[in-house]
Every structure is written in C-alpha cells, then in structure tokens.
Amino acid sequence: MIRYVHSLLFGLSVLLPLSTLAAVRYDSAHDHLNVTAQNQPLSQVLGEVADATGMKILMDPTVDRPVTAEFSEVSLRLGLKRLTNGMNVVLIEEPVKNGTGTAPAVLKLLPSGQSQSERLQPLGKKTAVATKPATDKNYRRERRVDKLPAQQRDAAVARMNQQTQAKQARKSERVENKTARHAKQEARHAEREAARTARLARLAVTDPEVYARRMVQEAQRTARQQAKSEHQSTQQ
C-alpha cells in the first residue's frame, strides 16, 4: 500500500509543470544578445544580462514584472529595449573598449513618472556587491542626473551620451592619425632600405673589396644587436 501511494505521488509530481529558467547568452565580439524567458521575473532576466555583459543594471523592486521573451542575435541596445518596453528607464552609454562607438553601460529602471528612487537595487550576481565610491566622477554625475525631473533627466542623459560619442569619435580620429603616421614612417623606411640596397649593388660592381668589408661590418653589427636583445630578454 505504501509503495502504491509513493508511486502515485511520484506520478503526480512528474505531471506538475516545471518552472522554466531564463537563458541568456551574449557574444561581445559581434554584440549579439540571445534571450529565452517564459514568464520569468524581469529582475532575474536582467540580472543574467548584467552577468553576461558586465553592465550595471539597477531596478526599483516595485517595477519588477513577469516577462516572456525569445530573441537571438540582436544588439544589446535593442535587446534591452525589448525587455523594458513601456517602462521608465535611464540608459547611459560609454565608449567601447578597444573599439569605436558606444555601448550600454548603466541601466536604471524607475517607477513610472519618477526621476529617482532610493530603492534601486543592483541586479546580477557579479554586480550585487559592486558599489562605486563617492569620489568616482561618473558616479557623482549619475547621482546629479537622478535628482533632476524626468524631462530634464532625459535631456541630461541624451547630452551625456552625445558627449560620450563625441569623445569616442575624437579617440578614433587620434587612432587613425597615429596609424597614418606609422604607415608613412614604414614607407620612408622601405624607401631608405631600397636606396641602400641599390647602393650596395653598385658598390659590389665598382669596388668589390670595399663591398666585402661593408658586408663584414653589417654582419658584425647584426650579431651585436642579436646579442643585446638576448641579454635583455634574459634579464626580464
């Protein structure tokens, strides 16, 4: 009898619906966000997004809601827009490291009609204990923006994003100028090497003895440079 009841209960447990978990993957190389969530708390889904992307995501617990979403290979910016559609959010972007353009860096979800909240909580396992010191310039700027009315806050965030994009554009321009200068230096070096090779070729025909001494000197110089490089590498 006990075995029958146990089997019956086991059978019922199998028939009960299992809770689905959100699946979040992010390909930073191509900026592809993949999300699959079925009636999951938005805080949980965004927490996994924060862990996968390294973003800082803050949410007022009162705005948490169930979310059902399924998309793949969309940009992080578009994915966040889909997940928070219709909500009061503040999105701050920062320059992409070792690249061009900007990317979402901080996302705040606030109650409707409010420009700030004292109940903001960080989402994600990696960011749950992360706090910025009051001396951090970006942190102080975000705090000032949070205290503004909604319309002014949106305008301030837009200006911040424009400034970030302009800063990244200037950085990209500096990198391009540096690359162009390096290319010119390489071209001049190639020209000098070609002229030197031509002079040695003429010298080999006009004065073979001088050419032979020059080749010996070149070999000795190369040997000294190699020995110096090996000595420096062993000291490091």
Tens-place pLDDT, residues 60-72: 999 999 999 999 9
CATH code of 8-147, in short, is 3.30.1370
| 3 state SS of 94 | strand
pLDDT given for residue 99 in this prediction:
65
Transcribe 25-83 into DSSP letters. EEETTTTEEEEEEEEEEHHHHHHHHHHHH--EEEE-GGG--EEEEEEEEE-HHHHHHHH
Extract the residue ranges of the chain whose pLDDT is less than 50: 1-19, 127-135
pTM above 0.75, yes or no: no
Query: Residue 236 has what pLDDT?
Result: 64
pLDDT at site 135: 43
Q: Where are the domains of the chain?
A: 8-147
| Burial class of 79 by CB neighbour count within 10 A (0 to 12, 13 to 18, 19+) | buried
Give the residue among 2, 219, 165, 53 at the shortest CA–CA distance from 10: 2
Residue-level pLDDT at 67: 92
Query: Which residue matches tokens 């705005």?
Result: 63
Q: What pLDDT shows up at residue 134? A: 41
How high is the pLDDT of residue 132?
44
β-sheet with 32-41: strand ranges across:
23-27, 32-41, 66-74
